[in-house]
Structure 1
Amino acid sequence: MHYLAFHFASTHEASELLTDTLSALGADGVQVQDAAEITAILADPKNLSYADDDFINQLDPVVRIVAYFAAFPEGVRVNRDPDQASWTLYDNSEKIIVPLSQLEEQIRVRLQSFSAFLDIGDGYQGCLVVKEEDWAENWKRYYNTLHLTDRLVINPSWLDYQPVPGEIVITLDPGSAFGTGTHETTALCARWLDEKLQPGDHVLDLGCGSGILAIIAARLGAGSVEAIDIDALAVSVAKANCQLNQVAVMVHSGELKDAARPRYDLIVANIIADVIVAIAGDIPSLLAPGGLFIASGIIRDKLPAVEAAAEQAGLSILEKRIQNDWCALLLGKAKGD
Protein backbone atom coordinates (compact mmCIF):
# COMPACT_ATOMS: atom_id res chain seq x y z
CA MET A 1 0.00 0.00 0.00
CA HIS A 2 0.99 3.60 -0.59
CA TYR A 3 -0.77 6.95 -0.56
CA LEU A 4 -1.84 9.28 -3.34
CA ALA A 5 -1.79 13.01 -2.61
CA PHE A 6 -4.53 14.84 -4.53
CA HIS A 7 -3.73 18.55 -4.89
CA PHE A 8 -6.26 21.38 -5.19
CA ALA A 9 -6.04 25.17 -5.65
CA SER A 10 -9.17 26.70 -4.17
CA THR A 11 -10.65 29.66 -2.30
CA HIS A 12 -11.41 30.45 1.33
CA GLU A 13 -15.15 30.34 0.61
CA ALA A 14 -14.98 26.88 -0.99
CA SER A 15 -12.41 25.21 1.25
CA GLU A 16 -14.80 23.80 3.84
CA LEU A 17 -17.15 22.34 1.23
CA LEU A 18 -14.23 20.84 -0.66
CA THR A 19 -12.61 19.27 2.41
CA ASP A 20 -15.94 17.79 3.52
CA THR A 21 -16.47 16.38 0.03
CA LEU A 22 -13.02 14.79 -0.09
CA SER A 23 -13.53 13.24 3.34
CA ALA A 24 -16.91 11.89 2.25
CA LEU A 25 -15.29 10.37 -0.83
CA GLY A 26 -12.95 8.45 1.49
CA ALA A 27 -9.80 10.54 1.99
CA ASP A 28 -7.75 9.26 4.93
CA GLY A 29 -6.59 12.80 5.64
CA VAL A 30 -7.04 16.31 4.28
CA GLN A 31 -4.51 19.12 4.70
CA VAL A 32 -5.55 22.76 4.23
CA GLN A 33 -3.32 25.83 3.95
CA ASP A 34 -5.56 28.89 4.07
CA ALA A 35 -3.95 32.32 4.52
CA ALA A 36 -7.24 33.93 5.56
CA GLU A 37 -7.80 31.34 8.27
CA ILE A 38 -4.22 31.58 9.55
CA THR A 39 -4.45 35.38 9.67
CA ALA A 40 -7.75 35.24 11.55
CA ILE A 41 -6.32 32.82 14.12
CA LEU A 42 -3.26 35.02 14.70
CA ALA A 43 -5.49 38.10 15.08
CA ASP A 44 -7.62 36.48 17.78
CA PRO A 45 -6.69 38.09 21.15
CA LYS A 46 -7.15 34.72 22.88
CA ASN A 47 -4.72 32.97 20.55
CA LEU A 48 -1.30 32.13 22.02
CA SER A 49 0.50 31.68 18.70
CA TYR A 50 2.78 34.34 17.25
CA ALA A 51 4.05 35.06 13.75
CA ASP A 52 6.02 38.02 12.48
CA ASP A 53 4.90 40.21 9.58
CA ASP A 54 7.26 38.54 7.11
CA PHE A 55 5.60 35.17 7.69
CA ILE A 56 2.12 36.61 7.22
CA ASN A 57 3.11 38.52 4.08
CA GLN A 58 4.59 35.39 2.52
CA LEU A 59 1.41 33.33 2.90
CA ASP A 60 -0.01 32.08 -0.40
CA PRO A 61 -3.35 33.80 -1.10
CA VAL A 62 -4.49 30.65 -2.91
CA VAL A 63 -5.99 28.03 -0.58
CA ARG A 64 -3.94 24.85 -1.03
CA ILE A 65 -5.70 21.59 -0.21
CA VAL A 66 -4.14 18.12 -0.26
CA ALA A 67 -6.24 14.98 0.21
CA TYR A 68 -4.58 11.63 0.91
CA PHE A 69 -6.16 8.40 -0.39
CA ALA A 70 -4.79 4.90 0.21
CA ALA A 71 -3.79 3.17 -3.03
CA PHE A 72 -3.30 -0.53 -3.76
CA PRO A 73 -2.25 -2.46 -6.88
CA GLU A 74 -5.91 -2.93 -7.80
CA GLY A 75 -6.95 0.70 -7.29
CA VAL A 76 -7.73 3.48 -4.77
CA ARG A 77 -9.67 2.98 -1.53
CA VAL A 78 -12.81 5.12 -1.29
CA ASN A 79 -16.16 5.12 0.51
CA ARG A 80 -18.78 2.98 -1.22
CA ASP A 81 -21.49 5.61 -0.69
CA PRO A 82 -20.06 9.15 -0.39
CA ASP A 83 -23.51 10.67 0.14
CA GLN A 84 -24.15 8.42 3.11
CA ALA A 85 -20.62 9.02 4.41
CA SER A 86 -21.30 12.75 4.53
CA TRP A 87 -23.71 12.29 7.45
CA THR A 88 -22.11 9.29 9.17
CA LEU A 89 -18.69 8.85 10.72
CA TYR A 90 -16.27 8.57 7.81
CA ASP A 91 -14.29 5.82 9.53
CA ASN A 92 -17.42 3.69 9.81
CA SER A 93 -18.24 3.93 6.09
CA GLU A 94 -17.98 0.83 3.92
CA LYS A 95 -14.88 0.92 1.70
CA ILE A 96 -14.34 -0.25 -1.88
CA ILE A 97 -11.45 -0.17 -4.35
CA VAL A 98 -11.95 1.78 -7.59
CA PRO A 99 -9.68 2.75 -10.49
CA LEU A 100 -7.85 6.04 -10.08
CA SER A 101 -9.58 7.41 -13.18
CA GLN A 102 -12.98 6.76 -11.61
CA LEU A 103 -12.12 8.68 -8.44
CA GLU A 104 -10.69 11.57 -10.46
CA GLU A 105 -13.90 11.69 -12.51
CA GLN A 106 -15.99 11.77 -9.32
CA ILE A 107 -13.91 14.67 -8.06
CA ARG A 108 -14.23 16.63 -11.34
CA VAL A 109 -18.01 16.10 -11.49
CA ARG A 110 -18.48 17.39 -7.94
CA LEU A 111 -16.22 20.38 -8.50
CA GLN A 112 -18.14 21.22 -11.67
CA SER A 113 -21.42 21.19 -9.74
CA PHE A 114 -19.97 23.40 -6.99
CA SER A 115 -18.67 25.93 -9.50
CA ALA A 116 -22.23 26.70 -10.57
CA PHE A 117 -22.85 28.58 -7.33
CA LEU A 118 -19.40 29.06 -5.75
CA ASP A 119 -15.93 30.27 -6.76
CA ILE A 120 -13.85 27.14 -6.27
CA GLY A 121 -10.62 28.53 -7.73
CA ASP A 122 -8.54 26.48 -10.19
CA GLY A 123 -9.73 23.21 -8.62
CA TYR A 124 -8.06 19.84 -9.09
CA GLN A 125 -4.34 20.00 -9.94
CA GLY A 126 -3.47 16.29 -10.11
CA CYS A 127 -2.08 13.65 -7.76
CA LEU A 128 1.33 12.43 -6.67
CA VAL A 129 2.51 9.19 -5.09
CA VAL A 130 3.56 9.34 -1.42
CA LYS A 131 5.44 6.22 -0.33
CA GLU A 132 4.35 4.84 3.01
CA GLU A 133 7.87 4.89 4.43
CA ASP A 134 8.17 8.58 3.50
CA TRP A 135 4.83 9.30 5.19
CA ALA A 136 5.94 7.75 8.47
CA GLU A 137 9.66 8.39 8.69
CA ASN A 138 10.89 11.32 6.58
CA TRP A 139 10.25 13.95 9.27
CA LYS A 140 12.83 12.22 11.48
CA ARG A 141 15.61 13.15 9.06
CA TYR A 142 15.45 16.74 10.31
CA TYR A 143 16.44 15.79 13.87
CA ASN A 144 20.01 14.96 14.88
CA THR A 145 21.98 14.73 18.11
CA LEU A 146 22.32 18.24 19.52
CA HIS A 147 24.90 19.54 22.03
CA LEU A 148 23.29 22.43 23.90
CA THR A 149 26.15 22.97 26.36
CA ASP A 150 29.40 21.25 27.22
CA ARG A 151 27.43 18.56 29.05
CA LEU A 152 23.79 18.78 27.91
CA VAL A 153 23.03 16.58 24.90
CA ILE A 154 19.62 16.13 23.25
CA ASN A 155 19.33 12.87 21.34
CA PRO A 156 16.29 11.75 19.29
CA SER A 157 14.87 8.48 20.58
CA TRP A 158 15.47 6.69 17.26
CA LEU A 159 19.22 7.46 17.14
CA ASP A 160 22.02 5.66 18.98
CA TYR A 161 24.45 7.89 20.87
CA GLN A 162 27.41 7.01 23.06
CA PRO A 163 28.00 9.78 25.63
CA VAL A 164 31.43 10.78 26.82
CA PRO A 165 32.06 10.96 30.58
CA GLY A 166 30.26 13.89 32.18
CA GLU A 167 27.62 14.33 29.51
CA ILE A 168 23.92 14.38 30.43
CA VAL A 169 21.91 12.88 27.58
CA ILE A 170 18.22 13.72 27.22
CA THR A 171 16.38 11.26 24.99
CA LEU A 172 13.54 12.97 23.18
CA ASP A 173 10.63 12.08 20.93
CA PRO A 174 9.11 15.48 20.07
CA GLY A 175 5.87 14.13 18.60
CA SER A 176 3.57 17.09 17.91
CA ALA A 177 4.72 19.25 20.83
CA PHE A 178 7.12 22.20 20.71
CA GLY A 179 10.57 21.77 22.20
CA THR A 180 13.41 19.83 20.58
CA GLY A 181 16.31 22.05 21.61
CA THR A 182 16.89 23.21 18.05
CA HIS A 183 14.89 26.42 18.43
CA GLU A 184 16.72 29.41 19.88
CA THR A 185 14.15 29.95 22.66
CA THR A 186 14.52 26.41 24.01
CA ALA A 187 18.30 26.49 23.75
CA LEU A 188 18.52 29.80 25.65
CA CYS A 189 16.47 28.35 28.51
CA ALA A 190 18.46 25.11 28.60
CA ARG A 191 21.77 26.94 28.91
CA TRP A 192 20.54 29.00 31.85
CA LEU A 193 19.20 25.89 33.54
CA ASP A 194 22.64 24.34 33.21
CA GLU A 195 24.27 27.44 34.71
CA LYS A 196 21.81 28.45 37.43
CA LEU A 197 19.96 25.39 38.72
CA GLN A 198 21.18 24.17 42.09
CA PRO A 199 20.72 20.58 43.31
CA GLY A 200 17.52 20.36 45.34
CA ASP A 201 15.83 23.36 43.68
CA HIS A 202 12.06 23.29 43.21
CA VAL A 203 11.42 24.03 39.53
CA LEU A 204 8.31 24.99 37.55
CA ASP A 205 8.27 24.63 33.75
CA LEU A 206 5.38 26.74 32.48
CA GLY A 207 4.27 25.89 28.94
CA CYS A 208 6.29 22.68 28.96
CA GLY A 209 5.65 21.50 25.37
CA SER A 210 7.62 18.29 24.83
CA GLY A 211 8.89 18.42 28.43
CA ILE A 212 12.49 19.02 27.39
CA LEU A 213 13.22 21.75 29.96
CA ALA A 214 11.52 19.89 32.79
CA ILE A 215 13.55 16.78 31.97
CA ILE A 216 16.78 18.81 31.86
CA ALA A 217 15.94 20.27 35.28
CA ALA A 218 15.31 16.83 36.71
CA ARG A 219 18.53 15.42 35.25
CA LEU A 220 20.47 18.38 36.66
CA GLY A 221 19.40 17.40 40.16
CA ALA A 222 16.31 19.47 40.94
CA GLY A 223 14.56 18.48 44.15
CA SER A 224 11.16 18.60 42.44
CA VAL A 225 9.98 19.51 38.96
CA GLU A 226 6.48 20.49 37.89
CA ALA A 227 5.52 20.92 34.22
CA ILE A 228 2.32 22.64 33.07
CA ASP A 229 0.81 23.20 29.64
CA ILE A 230 -2.63 24.28 28.42
CA ASP A 231 -2.38 21.84 25.50
CA ALA A 232 -3.53 18.30 26.36
CA LEU A 233 -1.43 16.87 23.52
CA ALA A 234 1.70 18.55 24.89
CA VAL A 235 0.96 17.13 28.34
CA SER A 236 0.69 13.64 26.85
CA VAL A 237 3.96 14.02 24.91
CA ALA A 238 5.75 15.45 27.96
CA LYS A 239 4.61 12.56 30.17
CA ALA A 240 5.87 10.07 27.60
CA ASN A 241 9.25 11.80 27.35
CA CYS A 242 9.60 11.94 31.14
CA GLN A 243 8.93 8.21 31.28
CA LEU A 244 11.41 7.63 28.46
CA ASN A 245 14.09 9.48 30.47
CA GLN A 246 13.06 7.85 33.76
CA VAL A 247 12.63 11.14 35.62
CA ALA A 248 10.00 12.06 38.21
CA VAL A 249 8.16 15.14 36.95
CA MET A 250 4.65 16.25 37.88
CA VAL A 251 3.11 16.94 34.45
CA HIS A 252 -0.42 18.30 34.19
CA SER A 253 -2.74 20.55 32.22
CA GLY A 254 -3.31 24.07 33.42
CA GLU A 255 -2.05 27.61 33.69
CA LEU A 256 0.15 29.45 36.19
CA LYS A 257 -2.74 29.67 38.66
CA ASP A 258 -2.82 25.85 38.73
CA ALA A 259 0.75 25.49 40.01
CA ALA A 260 0.93 23.03 42.88
CA ARG A 261 3.56 24.63 45.12
CA PRO A 262 3.36 28.02 46.88
CA ARG A 263 7.00 28.88 46.01
CA TYR A 264 9.64 27.82 43.50
CA ASP A 265 13.40 28.36 43.38
CA LEU A 266 13.31 28.55 39.59
CA ILE A 267 10.48 29.17 37.14
CA VAL A 268 11.08 28.80 33.40
CA ALA A 269 8.53 29.95 30.82
CA ASN A 270 9.37 29.39 27.17
CA ILE A 271 6.12 30.73 25.75
CA ILE A 272 5.37 34.00 23.94
CA ALA A 273 5.88 37.62 24.90
CA ASP A 274 2.21 38.51 25.29
CA VAL A 275 1.66 35.72 27.80
CA ILE A 276 4.80 36.63 29.74
CA VAL A 277 3.51 40.21 29.97
CA ALA A 278 0.16 38.91 31.22
CA ILE A 279 1.62 36.69 33.96
CA ALA A 280 4.55 38.88 35.06
CA GLY A 281 2.60 40.34 37.97
CA ASP A 282 1.99 36.88 39.44
CA ILE A 283 5.60 35.69 39.29
CA PRO A 284 7.18 37.45 42.31
CA SER A 285 4.77 35.87 44.80
CA LEU A 286 5.69 32.42 43.45
CA LEU A 287 9.46 32.91 43.74
CA ALA A 288 11.24 31.68 46.85
CA PRO A 289 13.86 34.03 48.37
CA GLY A 290 16.66 34.28 45.82
CA GLY A 291 14.47 32.59 43.22
CA LEU A 292 14.93 33.08 39.48
CA PHE A 293 12.53 33.47 36.57
CA ILE A 294 13.73 32.53 33.07
CA ALA A 295 11.46 34.12 30.46
CA SER A 296 11.96 33.10 26.84
CA GLY A 297 10.07 32.90 23.56
CA ILE A 298 10.33 36.69 23.16
CA ILE A 299 10.69 38.02 19.62
CA ARG A 300 12.98 41.06 19.55
CA ASP A 301 10.16 43.51 18.70
CA LYS A 302 8.27 42.47 21.83
CA LEU A 303 11.21 42.74 24.23
CA PRO A 304 10.49 46.32 25.42
CA ALA A 305 6.94 45.33 26.43
CA VAL A 306 8.24 42.36 28.43
CA GLU A 307 10.91 44.48 30.13
CA ALA A 308 8.32 47.10 31.09
CA ALA A 309 5.96 44.46 32.48
CA ALA A 310 8.79 42.89 34.49
CA GLU A 311 9.76 46.22 36.02
CA GLN A 312 6.15 47.01 36.89
CA ALA A 313 5.83 43.60 38.54
CA GLY A 314 8.86 44.20 40.75
CA LEU A 315 11.25 41.97 38.83
CA SER A 316 14.86 42.93 38.13
CA ILE A 317 16.56 41.98 34.87
CA LEU A 318 19.70 40.13 35.95
CA GLU A 319 20.81 39.20 32.45
CA LYS A 320 19.58 39.40 28.87
CA ARG A 321 20.53 37.11 26.01
CA ILE A 322 19.66 37.38 22.33
CA GLN A 323 20.07 34.71 19.68
CA ASN A 324 19.11 35.75 16.16
CA ASP A 325 15.78 37.57 16.66
CA TRP A 326 14.84 35.72 19.86
CA CYS A 327 15.39 37.06 23.37
CA ALA A 328 15.44 35.59 26.85
CA LEU A 329 15.57 37.29 30.24
CA LEU A 330 16.91 36.09 33.57
CA LEU A 331 14.85 37.82 36.25
CA GLY A 332 14.76 37.99 40.02
CA LYS A 333 12.84 39.91 42.64
CA ALA A 334 13.86 43.55 42.83
CA LYS A 335 15.73 44.53 45.98
CA GLY A 336 13.37 45.48 48.76
CA ASP A 337 10.52 43.32 47.43
Structure 2
Amino acid sequence: MEFFERVYRISNEDVEKLEEYFFDKQINNYYFYETKEGIFLVVVSEKKEFDFDFSFDIVEERVTSSDDWVKNLISRPFEFIEGVWIDPDFHDIKKGVVIKITPGLAFGTGLHDTTKLAASFLKEYLRPGMDVLDLGCGSGILSILSKKLGANRVLGVDNDPLAVESALENVKKNNEDVEIRESNLFKNIDGKYDLIVSNIIAEILIEALEDMPKYLKKDGIVILSGIIDSKLDLFKHLNIIEHRRKNEWNALVIKF
Protein backbone atom coordinates (compact mmCIF):
# COMPACT_ATOMS: atom_id res chain seq x y z
CA MET A 1 0.00 0.00 0.00
CA GLU A 2 1.26 3.48 -0.88
CA PHE A 3 1.46 6.35 1.60
CA PHE A 4 2.16 10.02 1.03
CA GLU A 5 4.79 11.85 3.04
CA ARG A 6 4.81 15.61 3.41
CA VAL A 7 7.87 17.28 4.93
CA TYR A 8 7.51 20.64 6.70
CA ARG A 9 10.14 23.02 8.02
CA ILE A 10 9.27 24.03 11.60
CA SER A 11 10.86 25.85 14.53
CA ASN A 12 11.87 24.43 17.88
CA GLU A 13 8.98 26.35 19.47
CA ASP A 14 6.48 24.47 17.25
CA VAL A 15 7.37 21.01 18.54
CA GLU A 16 5.35 21.13 21.77
CA LYS A 17 2.15 22.44 20.18
CA LEU A 18 2.47 19.86 17.39
CA GLU A 19 2.95 17.03 19.90
CA GLU A 20 -0.20 18.16 21.68
CA TYR A 21 -2.12 18.51 18.41
CA PHE A 22 -1.20 15.00 17.22
CA PHE A 23 -1.89 13.45 20.61
CA ASP A 24 -5.29 15.18 20.71
CA LYS A 25 -6.13 13.86 17.24
CA GLN A 26 -4.73 10.38 18.08
CA ILE A 27 -2.35 10.65 15.13
CA ASN A 28 0.87 8.64 15.36
CA ASN A 29 1.96 8.73 11.72
CA TYR A 30 4.47 11.53 12.06
CA TYR A 31 8.03 12.12 13.23
CA PHE A 32 10.52 14.94 13.70
CA TYR A 33 14.14 15.11 12.65
CA GLU A 34 16.84 17.74 12.95
CA THR A 35 19.74 18.57 10.62
CA LYS A 36 22.17 21.47 10.36
CA GLU A 37 19.53 23.11 8.15
CA GLY A 38 16.89 23.08 10.88
CA ILE A 39 14.00 21.04 12.34
CA PHE A 40 11.58 19.17 10.12
CA LEU A 41 8.23 17.44 10.58
CA VAL A 42 7.21 14.49 8.41
CA VAL A 43 3.51 13.59 8.26
CA VAL A 44 2.38 10.36 6.58
CA SER A 45 -1.11 9.90 5.12
CA GLU A 46 -3.00 7.36 3.04
CA LYS A 47 -4.36 10.30 1.00
CA LYS A 48 -2.39 12.62 -1.23
CA GLU A 49 -4.31 15.58 0.16
CA PHE A 50 -4.88 15.67 3.90
CA ASP A 51 -6.08 18.24 6.40
CA PHE A 52 -3.50 19.88 8.60
CA ASP A 53 -4.31 22.81 10.88
CA PHE A 54 -0.94 24.55 10.54
CA SER A 55 0.65 26.65 7.80
CA PHE A 56 4.27 25.54 7.65
CA ASP A 57 6.48 25.67 4.58
CA ILE A 58 6.39 22.40 2.66
CA VAL A 59 9.91 21.25 1.88
CA GLU A 60 9.13 18.01 0.06
CA GLU A 61 6.30 15.68 -0.93
CA ARG A 62 7.01 12.04 -1.68
CA VAL A 63 5.43 8.60 -1.99
CA THR A 64 6.38 5.77 0.35
CA SER A 65 5.02 2.31 1.14
CA SER A 66 3.87 0.64 4.32
CA ASP A 67 6.97 -1.54 4.19
CA ASP A 68 9.22 1.49 3.88
CA TRP A 69 7.60 3.46 6.69
CA VAL A 70 5.83 1.24 9.19
CA LYS A 71 8.05 -1.82 9.16
CA ASN A 72 11.24 0.18 9.06
CA LEU A 73 10.01 2.28 11.95
CA ILE A 74 9.69 -0.73 14.25
CA SER A 75 11.05 -3.73 12.42
CA ARG A 76 12.80 -5.32 15.38
CA PRO A 77 12.16 -5.71 19.10
CA PHE A 78 13.02 -2.81 21.35
CA GLU A 79 13.07 -2.25 25.11
CA PHE A 80 9.93 -0.25 25.78
CA ILE A 81 10.73 0.40 29.45
CA GLU A 82 13.26 -1.36 31.63
CA GLY A 83 12.57 -5.09 31.54
CA VAL A 84 9.65 -4.82 29.07
CA TRP A 85 10.15 -5.48 25.36
CA ILE A 86 7.92 -4.69 22.38
CA ASP A 87 8.07 -7.23 19.56
CA PRO A 88 6.49 -6.12 16.25
CA ASP A 89 6.87 -9.63 14.84
CA PHE A 90 7.57 -13.07 16.30
CA HIS A 91 11.15 -12.96 17.51
CA ASP A 92 12.52 -15.37 20.07
CA ILE A 93 13.10 -13.03 23.01
CA LYS A 94 14.33 -14.77 26.15
CA LYS A 95 14.44 -11.83 28.57
CA GLY A 96 11.93 -9.79 30.53
CA VAL A 97 8.29 -9.23 29.68
CA VAL A 98 7.50 -9.38 25.96
CA ILE A 99 4.47 -7.69 24.36
CA LYS A 100 3.67 -8.47 20.75
CA ILE A 101 2.14 -5.48 18.96
CA THR A 102 1.05 -5.33 15.33
CA PRO A 103 2.84 -2.41 13.64
CA GLY A 104 0.42 0.19 12.33
CA LEU A 105 -0.13 3.84 11.67
CA ALA A 106 -2.47 4.39 14.60
CA PHE A 107 -3.20 3.70 18.26
CA GLY A 108 0.39 3.45 19.46
CA THR A 109 3.17 0.91 19.39
CA GLY A 110 4.99 1.93 22.54
CA LEU A 111 7.09 4.65 20.96
CA HIS A 112 5.34 7.66 22.47
CA ASP A 113 6.67 9.21 25.69
CA THR A 114 3.20 9.20 27.28
CA THR A 115 2.86 5.44 26.86
CA LYS A 116 6.32 4.85 28.33
CA LEU A 117 5.54 7.05 31.33
CA ALA A 118 2.28 5.24 32.04
CA ALA A 119 3.96 1.86 31.64
CA SER A 120 6.79 2.76 34.02
CA PHE A 121 4.23 3.63 36.70
CA LEU A 122 2.30 0.41 36.05
CA LYS A 123 5.49 -1.57 36.57
CA GLU A 124 6.04 0.18 39.90
CA TYR A 125 2.53 0.29 41.36
CA LEU A 126 0.68 -2.73 39.96
CA ARG A 127 0.61 -5.68 42.36
CA PRO A 128 -0.32 -9.24 41.35
CA GLY A 129 -4.05 -9.89 41.80
CA MET A 130 -5.14 -6.28 41.22
CA ASP A 131 -8.16 -5.47 39.04
CA VAL A 132 -7.12 -2.91 36.41
CA LEU A 133 -9.07 -0.55 34.15
CA ASP A 134 -7.30 0.94 31.11
CA LEU A 135 -9.38 3.98 30.18
CA GLY A 136 -8.67 4.92 26.57
CA CYS A 137 -6.76 1.76 25.79
CA GLY A 138 -5.78 2.48 22.16
CA SER A 139 -3.66 -0.45 20.97
CA GLY A 140 -4.18 -2.26 24.27
CA ILE A 141 -0.50 -2.10 25.12
CA LEU A 142 -1.07 -0.97 28.73
CA SER A 143 -3.89 -3.49 29.21
CA ILE A 144 -1.66 -6.32 27.99
CA LEU A 145 1.22 -5.13 30.14
CA SER A 146 -1.06 -5.05 33.20
CA LYS A 147 -2.02 -8.68 32.67
CA LYS A 148 1.59 -9.73 32.10
CA LEU A 149 2.53 -7.98 35.36
CA GLY A 150 0.09 -10.20 37.24
CA ALA A 151 -3.22 -8.33 37.27
CA ASN A 152 -6.39 -10.31 37.91
CA ARG A 153 -9.17 -8.72 35.86
CA VAL A 154 -8.11 -6.28 33.14
CA LEU A 155 -10.66 -4.22 31.21
CA GLY A 156 -9.53 -1.92 28.40
CA VAL A 157 -11.98 0.53 26.85
CA ASP A 158 -11.82 3.07 24.04
CA ASN A 159 -14.42 5.21 22.29
CA ASP A 160 -12.91 4.55 18.85
CA PRO A 161 -14.12 1.28 17.25
CA LEU A 162 -10.92 1.03 15.21
CA ALA A 163 -8.83 1.28 18.36
CA VAL A 164 -10.99 -1.45 19.92
CA GLU A 165 -10.38 -3.63 16.87
CA SER A 166 -6.63 -3.02 17.11
CA ALA A 167 -6.59 -3.80 20.84
CA LEU A 168 -8.54 -7.03 20.34
CA GLU A 169 -6.03 -8.13 17.70
CA ASN A 170 -3.09 -7.42 20.00
CA VAL A 171 -4.71 -9.17 22.97
CA LYS A 172 -5.21 -12.25 20.80
CA LYS A 173 -1.61 -12.07 19.57
CA ASN A 174 -0.40 -12.09 23.19
CA ASN A 175 -2.80 -14.85 24.25
CA GLU A 176 -3.83 -12.92 27.36
CA ASP A 177 -7.17 -12.87 29.19
CA VAL A 178 -7.91 -9.17 28.72
CA GLU A 179 -11.38 -7.80 28.07
CA ILE A 180 -11.72 -5.00 25.51
CA ARG A 181 -14.87 -2.91 25.05
CA GLU A 182 -16.03 0.16 23.21
CA SER A 183 -16.96 2.84 25.75
CA ASN A 184 -17.07 6.61 25.91
CA LEU A 185 -15.21 7.05 29.20
CA PHE A 186 -17.26 5.23 31.88
CA LYS A 187 -20.48 4.74 29.87
CA ASN A 188 -19.95 0.99 29.36
CA ILE A 189 -17.89 0.09 32.44
CA ASP A 190 -18.92 -2.07 35.36
CA GLY A 191 -17.31 -2.99 38.67
CA LYS A 192 -14.58 -1.35 40.73
CA TYR A 193 -10.84 -1.46 40.27
CA ASP A 194 -7.67 -1.37 42.34
CA LEU A 195 -5.89 0.62 39.65
CA ILE A 196 -7.09 2.83 36.80
CA VAL A 197 -4.61 3.89 34.14
CA SER A 198 -5.52 6.50 31.53
CA ASN A 199 -3.26 7.85 28.78
CA ILE A 200 -5.39 10.45 27.02
CA ILE A 201 -5.32 14.23 26.60
CA ALA A 202 -5.49 16.49 29.65
CA GLU A 203 -8.95 17.91 29.05
CA ILE A 204 -10.50 14.44 28.79
CA LEU A 205 -8.60 13.30 31.88
CA ILE A 206 -10.12 16.20 33.82
CA GLU A 207 -13.58 15.16 32.64
CA ALA A 208 -12.94 11.52 33.56
CA LEU A 209 -11.74 12.45 37.06
CA GLU A 210 -15.27 13.55 37.99
CA ASP A 211 -16.56 9.96 37.84
CA MET A 212 -13.34 8.07 38.55
CA PRO A 213 -13.81 7.67 42.34
CA LYS A 214 -17.01 5.66 41.73
CA TYR A 215 -14.99 2.98 39.94
CA LEU A 216 -12.13 2.74 42.42
CA LYS A 217 -11.85 0.30 45.29
CA LYS A 218 -10.80 1.57 48.69
CA ASP A 219 -7.19 2.83 48.54
CA GLY A 220 -7.27 2.54 44.75
CA ILE A 221 -4.53 4.08 42.61
CA VAL A 222 -4.91 6.21 39.48
CA ILE A 223 -2.18 6.66 36.85
CA LEU A 224 -2.70 9.60 34.50
CA SER A 225 -0.55 10.22 31.43
CA GLY A 226 -0.80 12.39 28.32
CA ILE A 227 -0.41 15.70 30.17
CA ILE A 228 1.66 18.20 28.24
CA ASP A 229 3.61 20.81 30.21
CA SER A 230 1.19 23.63 29.42
CA LYS A 231 -1.73 21.69 30.96
CA LEU A 232 -0.02 20.45 34.11
CA ASP A 233 -1.53 23.17 36.29
CA LEU A 234 -4.99 21.65 35.67
CA PHE A 235 -3.99 18.81 38.00
CA LYS A 236 -2.22 20.67 40.81
CA HIS A 237 -5.28 20.40 43.12
CA LEU A 238 -5.08 16.58 43.15
CA ASN A 239 -3.47 14.36 45.76
CA ILE A 240 -0.37 13.61 43.69
CA ILE A 241 1.71 10.70 45.01
CA GLU A 242 4.36 10.78 42.29
CA HIS A 243 5.12 12.84 39.19
CA ARG A 244 7.36 11.90 36.24
CA ARG A 245 8.27 13.92 33.17
CA LYS A 246 9.75 12.94 29.82
CA ASN A 247 10.46 15.69 27.33
CA GLU A 248 7.32 17.88 27.42
CA TRP A 249 4.99 15.11 28.70
CA ASN A 250 3.94 14.34 32.27
CA ALA A 251 2.42 11.42 34.15
CA LEU A 252 0.97 11.42 37.64
CA VAL A 253 0.03 8.86 40.30
CA ILE A 254 -2.90 10.10 42.37
CA LYS A 255 -5.12 8.90 45.18
CA PHE A 256 -8.53 10.24 46.12
Q: TM-score range by the shorter chain?
A: 0.7 to 0.9
Change (3 A) 1:162 1:182: same
- Greater shift, 172-181 or 223-232, is seen at 172-181
Trace 1:134-213 onto structure 2 (pairs within 5 A): 135-138=65-68, 139-143=70-74, 144-157=76-89, 160-164=91-95, 167-213=96-142
Structure 1 CA distance for aligned equivalents of residues 71 and 187 of structure 2: 34
Contact 1:146 1:181 in 2 (8 A): no
Contact 2:109 2:141 in 1 (8 A): yes
Structure 2 CA distance for aligned equivalents of residues 279 and 221 of structure 1: 26
Q: Structure 1 or 2: larger helix share?
A: 1
1:274-308: CA deviations, max 9, x gaps? 10111111112211111111000011000001334
Asked which structure has the greater CA Rg, the reply is 1
SS at match of 1:257: coil
Query: Quick check: 1:33 aligned with 2:50?
Result: yes
Q: Look up the match of 1:318.
A: 241
Change (3 A) 1:264 1:161: same
- 1:58 maps to a residue whose letter is F
Q: Look up the match of 2:224.
A: 295
Structure 1 CA distance for aligned equivalents of residues 180 and 2 of structure 2: 37
Change (3 A) 1:176 1:3: closer
Change (3 A) 1:292 1:59: farther
Structure 2 CA distance for aligned equivalents of residues 212 and 324 of structure 1: 21
Change (3 A) 1:199 1:57: same
Q: Look up the match of 1:284.
A: 213
Structure 1 CA distance for aligned equivalents of residues 2 and 147 of structure 2: 42
* Structure 1 residue ranges, 4+ long, deviating more than 3 angstroms after superposition: 2-5, 56-60
Answer 1 or 2: higher relative contact order, Cα 8 Å, separation at least 6. Answer: 2
Q: CA deviation at 1:256?
A: 2.4
Q: Look up the match of 2:14.
A: none
TM-score normalized with structure 1 length: 0.58
Trace 1:67-86 onto structure 2 (pairs within 5 A): none
Query: Quick check: 1:215 aligned with 2:138?
Result: no
Contact 2:196 2:221 in 1 (8 A): yes
Q: Look up the match of 2:173.
A: 244
Say what the alpha-carbon RMSD is for the aligned residues: 2.6
Contact 1:174 1:210 in 2 (8 A): no
Query: Quick check: 1:268 aligned with 2:200?
Result: no
Structure 2 CA distance for aligned equivalents of residues 4 and 330 of structure 1: 39
Q: Look up the match of 1:329.
A: 252
- 1:185 maps to a residue whose letter is T
TM-score normalized with structure 2 length: 0.76
SS at match of 2:100: strand
Identity among equivalent pairs (%)? 36
Structure 2 CA distance for aligned equivalents of residues 306 and 4 of structure 1: 39
Structure 2 CA distance for aligned equivalents of residues 259 and 217 of structure 1: 20
SS at match of 1:148: strand
Q: Look up the match of 2:34.
A: none
- 1:168 maps to a residue whose letter is V
Change (3 A) 1:57 1:287: farther
- 1:33 maps to a residue whose letter is F
1:154-179: CA deviations, max 9, x gaps? 1112x524223xx1100111424322
- 1:199 maps to a residue whose letter is P
